[in-house]
């Protein structure tokens, strides 16, 4: 029998208990042994819930029980998850988690601690919810040099952008809809301002390129300034607006960025709608691979957490290697990155096309007949800093700009 303890009986923690109960036979067959939840730690009581039988409020009960092999951290946040994870690893227990905040902030240190104590630290559920992506990067795509990762890594923002596209809603209404349906947190800042996707691309990039990518060095923009009008232009040119988290290597080095972008019909991310997530990986031998599925939610996320429990149960008292060194990966300054931009300006194309072309060179003009008083254009590839400088030369400034990824 393999004993596990679950820290936090919230959405994901209760999902872990449900997966382990519902799929008990499958899991027993895959592990070759029974996985038993010996403890659930939570500050709250759950009267009438079967969890009461194993509920504890004091973490030391778990830490001091040598029969607990695996600690499942589904508390989220940094405190006390960081201290609790360290203590479990130091006590010789493997840990698995869905906590992207903790993995992005302290992943290298916790992996090193796991190695020192001959146990494992796994975090499949931290990126892409139920989609297998960490394990494929770590164990399947090992014959390739990964050149690029590009993904939709946040279900809440993808739901909001999909609603804005299909319903013509403004951002605030689509956000309210997401909250009503339980997709967005009451405080949705981490999702809508891109911080959640930023942490996820930092984790994926660290594994793909083998060196630590600090999330706080990744240029990140959220979606709160995207408007219904932007979608009208996007539809006119056959594009969709999605929050894209991307990293990769160019001749000039590595880059990473999170920002809303227009994607064209031929891009696999174009068809990713609602709360779904997708991650495209390009390897120098493989070419393209795409991982698609349920990127959030109780059971998909719990399924990924339990896949780590299974892996750890099969490798008790040994370290499952994760290809993530503590050496820092240098990222190119954002100002040097080359992108195309969709830009909205006031006035009419007839009046202002010459001025725009004078500033940006050859551009593609888009005028919507039903939208008087403004028009848009798409630039050629231009450095980010160069774009910002040139945009200042547009009389009256620009109404908005979105990167164009096609």
Q: Where on the chain is the footprint of ligand HSE (CB under 6 A)? A: 129, 154-156, 191, 196, 295-296
Partners of 8 in beta bridges: none
Q: Helices (H), strands (E): how many in the chain?
A: 14, 19
How big is the chain by its Cα radius of gyration, in Å? 23
Minimum CB distance to ligand HSE, residue 73 (Å): 15
Minimum CB distance to ligand HSE, residue 273 (Å): 14
Any catalytic annotation for residue 200? Answer: yes
Tokens of 300: 């998909």
CB of 41 or CB of 296, closer to ligand HSE: 296
Minimum CB distance to ligand HSE, residue 201 (Å): 12
What is 324-381 written as a DSSP string? -EEEEPPB--GGG-EEEEEEEEES-HHHHHHHHHHHHSS-EEE--TT-TTEEEEE--S
Q: What is the 8-class DSSP label of residue 320?
A: P
Minimum CB distance to ligand HSE, residue 355 (Å): 41
CB of 92 or CB of 274, closer to ligand HSE: 274
Report the C-alpha gap between 119 and 90 in whole angstroms: 9
Minimum CB distance to ligand HSE, residue 247 (Å): 18
Q: Please provide residue 193's backbone torsions phi and psi, each rounded to the nearest 5 degrees.
A: -90, 5
Cβ distance 159 to 245 under 8 Å? no
Q: What is the 8-class DSSP label of residue 194?
A: S
Minimum CB distance to ligand HSE, residue 76 (Å): 10
CB of 62 or CB of 244, closer to ligand HSE: 244
CB of 156 or CB of 162, closer to ligand HSE: 156
CB of 35 or CB of 207, closer to ligand HSE: 207
Q: How far is CA 28 from CA 14, 22, 101, 306, 314, in A?
A: 19, 12, 31, 12, 11
CB of 118 or CB of 181, closer to ligand HSE: 181
Cβ-based neighbour number of residue 76 at 10 Å: 17
Identify the three-state secondary structure at position 227: coil
Residue nearest ligand HSE (C-beta atom)? 156
Q: Please provide residue 235's backbone torsions phi and psi, each rounded to the nearest 5 degrees.
A: -65, -35
Identify the three-state secondary structure at position 150: strand
CB of 154 or CB of 220, closer to ligand HSE: 154
Q: Which one of the listed residues 200, 211, 314, 392 is annotated catalytic?
A: 200
Considering only CA atoms, which of 77, 80, 74 is closest in space to residue 98?
74
Minimum CB distance to ligand HSE, residue 350 (Å): 43
Tokens of 353: 């096309």
Cβ distance 32 to 2 under 8 Å? no
Q: Which residues are catalytic?
A: 200
């Amino acid at each position: 029998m393999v004993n596990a303890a679950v820290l936090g009986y919230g959405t994901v923690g209760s999902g872990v208990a449900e997966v382990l109960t519902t799929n008990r036979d499958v899991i027993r067959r895959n592990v070759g042994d029974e996985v038993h939840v010996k403890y659930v730690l939570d500050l709250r009581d759950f009267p009438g819930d079967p969890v009461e039988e194993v509920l504890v409020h004091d973490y030391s009960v778990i830490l001091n029980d040598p029969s607990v092999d695996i600690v499942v951290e589904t508390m989220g946040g940094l405190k006390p998850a960081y201290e609790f994870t360290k203590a479990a690893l130091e006590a010789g227990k493997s840990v698995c988690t869905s906590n992207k905040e903790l993995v992005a902030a302290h992943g290298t240190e916790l992996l090193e601690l796991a190695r020192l104590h001959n146990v494992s630290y796994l975090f499949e559920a931290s990126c892409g919810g139920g989609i297998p992506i960490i394990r494929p990067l770590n164990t399947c795509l090992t014959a390739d040099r990964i050149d690029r990762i590009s993904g939709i890594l946040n279900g809440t923002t993808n739901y909001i952008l999909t609603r804005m596209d299909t319903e013509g809603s403004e951002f605030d209404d689509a956000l309210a809809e997401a909250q009503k349906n339980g997709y967005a947190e009451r405080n949705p800042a981490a999702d809508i301002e891109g911080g959640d996707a930023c942490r996820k691309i930092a984790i994926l990039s660290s594994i793909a390129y083998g060196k630590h990518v600090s999330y706080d060095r990744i240029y990140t923009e959220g979606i709160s300034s995207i408007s219904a009008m932007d979608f009208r232009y996007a539809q006119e040119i056959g594009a969709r607006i999605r929050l894209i988290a991307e990293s990769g290597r160019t001749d000039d080095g590595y880059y990473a960025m999170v920002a809303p972008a227009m994607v064209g019909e031929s891009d696999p991310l174009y068809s990713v709608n609602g709360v779904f997530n997708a991650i495209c990986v390009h390897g120098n031998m493989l070419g393209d691979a795409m991982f698609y599925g349920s990127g959030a939610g109780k059971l998909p996320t719990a399924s990924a957490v339990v896949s780590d429990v299974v892996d750890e149960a099969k490798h008790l008292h040994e370290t499952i290697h994760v290809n993530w060194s503590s050496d820092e990966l240098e990222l190119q300054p954002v100002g040097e990155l080359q992108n195309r931009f969709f830009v909205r300006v006031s006035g009419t194309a007839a009046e202002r096309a010459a001025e725009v072309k004078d500033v940006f060179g050859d551009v593609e003009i888009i005028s919507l007949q039903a939208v008087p008083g403004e028009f848009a254009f798409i630039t050629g590839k231009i450095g980010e800093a160069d774009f910002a400088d040139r945009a200042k030369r547009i009389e009256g400034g620009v109404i908005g700009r979105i990167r164009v990824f096609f």
